Structure 1
Amino acid sequence: MNLSVWRGAVLCVVMEEFGGPEVLRARQAEDPTPGPGQVLVDVAYASVTFVETQVRSGNGPFGRPALPRVPGNGVGGRVVAVGPDVDPALMGTVVVTTTGGAGGYAERALARADEVVPVPPGLALKDAIALLADGRTALLLFRQAEVEPGEKVLVEAAAGGVGSLLVQLAVRAGARVVGAARGDRKAELVTSLGAPCVDYSKDEWLRMVRDAADGELDVVFDGVGGPIGTAAVGALRPGGRVSLYGMASGAAATLDADDLAARGIRTLGLFAAPGRAETHPLIAEALRLAADGILRPIVGQVFPLAAAAEAHAAIEARATVGKTLLAVGAPDSDR
């Protein structure tokens, strides 16, 4: 039996063409019905990512998807319907989940039942959704890098969703951490997480990093790419590690394979999307660490669902800190 409790139209944000933020328009759509293996989530918050702004512009890393499209891959809310073969005990559970790449900018969204992660008691839903993608990514990158106590670590884009978590993980591991970000607001955030912050819009930013770290770096988490990432890799000691996790500049760092090999630099990062068997436990662990007060997700700005275009514009203008969310509805889903 399909246990749907909703009928009628829902509000969503539709993208019918590629272009600037203005192509994101609020529309009414038919209420979705979960099929086999699916659940329907009454969405309270939807995650907004930098990659989604690239997809919207037509310059996404995986090509151009078919249109029209409802963007959004991460949502948090309450399960209000289940498909015919799904355990009805999921009904009413507050969860975070991915949607398979689209459909998240909506009042209700479909997801695979085996993709949902229950939100632990004591953790606010907006904090949980902030960790859905960024938490699992930060944990995976940090484990790859094998940061040791006393090592000198640079985190670029340190005021971003992933960067702010990497700063916290490295500080907690006993590393000597330096953050790099742009502007006073971001610097204040990074400092509040326990690390000095250098503004990489300044000409002497790399010298300031070396001064703050007191020498060459052991690990660089490169979330910017371009000239910033390229320069940071040059500040690594022989035998160091660089972890590539983003291209906020719009381009990858220029890495010379021969130079890296000669210096014994290991290149790490997310070169292939991890599978569910790896990501599901990482998400659950990130939520647990936040519920226990060990990780503090940074939700920097929240926009109404109908203002998704404004959220995209803010991300592209580098005017955001931490995670950007869309507040969709269902306030009773939060806790």
Structure 2
Amino acid sequence: MRAVTIRRFGDPNGMEVIETASPEAGAGEVVIRTEAIGVGGVDAVIRRGTLGGFEFREGLIPGSEVAGTISATGDGVDPSWIGRRVWAFTGTSGGYAEEALARVDDVVPLVEGLTPTQAVTLGSAAPVARFALAHAHAAAGESVLIRGAAGSIGIAAVELAAQNGASAIAVTTSSRERGDRLRELGATHVLDRSGDGDATAPALFDVIVDIVGGDDLPGFLDRLAPNGRLVLVGAVAGFPPADFGGHLLRAFQQSRSFSTFSLDTVPRQALRAARSELFTAAARGGLHAVVETLLPLDQAAEAHRLMDAGRVFGRIVLTP
């Protein structure tokens, strides 16, 4: 099969298309003939070699989510899965390939009306958005700021916050065009990347969902209302400075809080149920899978160049 490997961690030029052996399903696993492959921010962080706690090895095949048809099953897996179209989480690697391996516990059947492209656009992003808002105890009538809202997680968070009855939904993004598109999806205020640019936006927010991290995160802690909660779900700009907690301590009387959130902490059964529900909502038009572009598998490096340049609204999807 064809696959994309990382020969050298760093810029996208270190990625290469190779011919390699097809995967074989072990106990509890399935092989999926891919039809769509999601390109996510975590893939770029892995490619750069900057993901903490990750084992970097030459020849790694990146990619964590695919959709397609199950072609083989391993021991302990019901063979009736063969021939079914599914979405699957492949772990932190293995997705950028014509065939991918996944645990059957990380597979969700595609509902009628949902395309493989839609599935890999929403399969990881929408659950992150849903559980992050729940982690922040976001309630109807509260104000929400989504930092880095132009990606697939941010877009899903905007739509879900609107559906949950947020009183105001502000977003940070890099252009007026992106801001207009986010307004169409439910945003009520558009800010620039520094958190300014809209005089009508709330000065403080009850909930901030931060997908960016990096050196500017402390300034957003200062945008929390009393009892406000910031949840960090990504770090595409890197980790925040080591002393960022000082901003919380200096506003001790405001009872602000900071937390991180990862889908790794959600029980598999609850995660599968949430994905099925979100997929059904998307198939019925209640959630939008926004795709920047479809690219063939051999243009994976170009997909990463677009991400590095900040030119992606929604998600890039690779097709084998």
Aligned equivalents of 1:272, 1:307: Cα separation in 2: 28
Q: Indicate which of 14, 17, 26 corresponds to 2:5.
A: 14
Q: Indicate which of 240, 261, 283 corresponds to 1:252.
A: 240
User: Which SS does the other structure have where 2:245 is aligned?
Assistant: coil
Q: Indicate which of 60, 64, 84 corresponds to 1:69.
A: 60
1:224 aligned partner, one-letter code: V
Question: Which residue in the other structure is 2:211 paired with?
Answer: 223
TM-score (norm: length of structure 1) = 0.87
Q: Indicate which of 214, 221, 224 corresponds to 1:233.
A: 221
Asked whether the 8 Å contact 2:38–2:121 carries over to 1, the reply is: yes
Structure 1 regions of 5+ residues with no counterpart? 1-9, 329-335
Structure 1 position 118, deviation (Å): 0.3
When structure 1 is superposed on structure 2, of 54-63 and 269-278 the one drifting more is 269-278
Aligned equivalents of 1:77, 1:272: Cα separation in 2: 22
Structure 2 regions of 5+ residues with no counterpart? none
Question: Which residue in the other structure is 1:188 paired with?
Answer: 180
User: Which SS does the other structure have where 2:71 is aligned?
Assistant: strand
1:87 paired to 2:75 = no
1:111 paired to 2:99 = no
Question: Which residue in the other structure is 1:287 paired with?
Answer: 279
Asked whether the 8 Å contact 1:54–1:61 carries over to 2, the reply is: no
Q: Indicate which of 77, 96, 102 corresponds to 2:87.
A: 96
Question: Which residue in the other structure is 1:40 paired with?
Answer: 31
User: Which SS does the other structure have where 1:121 is aligned?
Assistant: coil
Query: Which consecutive aligned stretches of 4+ in structure 1 deviate over 6 angstroms post-superposition?
Result: none
Structure 1 position 287, deviation (Å): 1.2
Q: Indicate which of 115, 125, 150 corresponds to 1:124.
A: 115
Asked whether the 8 Å contact 2:28–2:76 carries over to 1, the reply is: yes
Structure 1 position 170, deviation (Å): 1.0
Aligned equivalents of 1:35, 1:279: Cα separation in 2: 23
Aligned equivalents of 1:101, 1:24: Cα separation in 2: 16
Structure 1 position 22, deviation (Å): 1.1
Aligned equivalents of 2:9, 2:215: Cα separation in 1: 28
Structure 1 position 132, deviation (Å): 1.4
Structure 1 position 227, deviation (Å): 4.5
User: Which SS does the other structure have where 2:144 is aligned?
Assistant: strand
User: Which SS does the other structure have where 1:163 is aligned?
Assistant: helix
Cα-to-partner distance string for 1:186-205 (whole Å, 9 max, x where unaligned): 21221111213434247xx4
Aligned equivalents of 2:121, 2:133: Cα separation in 1: 18
Aligned equivalents of 1:167, 1:281: Cα separation in 2: 21
Asked whether the 8 Å contact 1:216–1:235 carries over to 2, the reply is: yes
RMSD value, Cα: 2.0
1:299 paired to 2:287 = no
Question: Which residue in the other structure is 1:27 paired with?
Answer: 18
Asked whether the 8 Å contact 2:45–2:236 carries over to 1, the reply is: no
Question: Which residue in the other structure is 2:230 paired with?
Answer: 242
Aligned equivalents of 1:140, 1:258: Cα separation in 2: 27
Asked whether the 8 Å contact 1:200–1:228 carries over to 2, the reply is: no
User: Which SS does the other structure have where 2:295 is aligned?
Assistant: strand
Change (3 A) 1:195 1:87: same
Question: Which residue in the other structure is 1:318 paired with?
Answer: 310
Aligned equivalents of 2:74, 2:181: Cα separation in 1: 43
Structure 1 position 151, deviation (Å): 1.6
TM-score (norm: length of structure 2) = 0.91
Aligned equivalents of 1:61, 1:261: Cα separation in 2: 30
Structure 1 position 109, deviation (Å): 0.9
Change (3 A) 1:248 1:154: same
User: Which SS does the other structure have where 1:267 is aligned?
Assistant: strand
Structure 1 position 90, deviation (Å): 0.6
Change (3 A) 1:249 1:177: same
Aligned equivalents of 2:151, 2:115: Cα separation in 1: 19
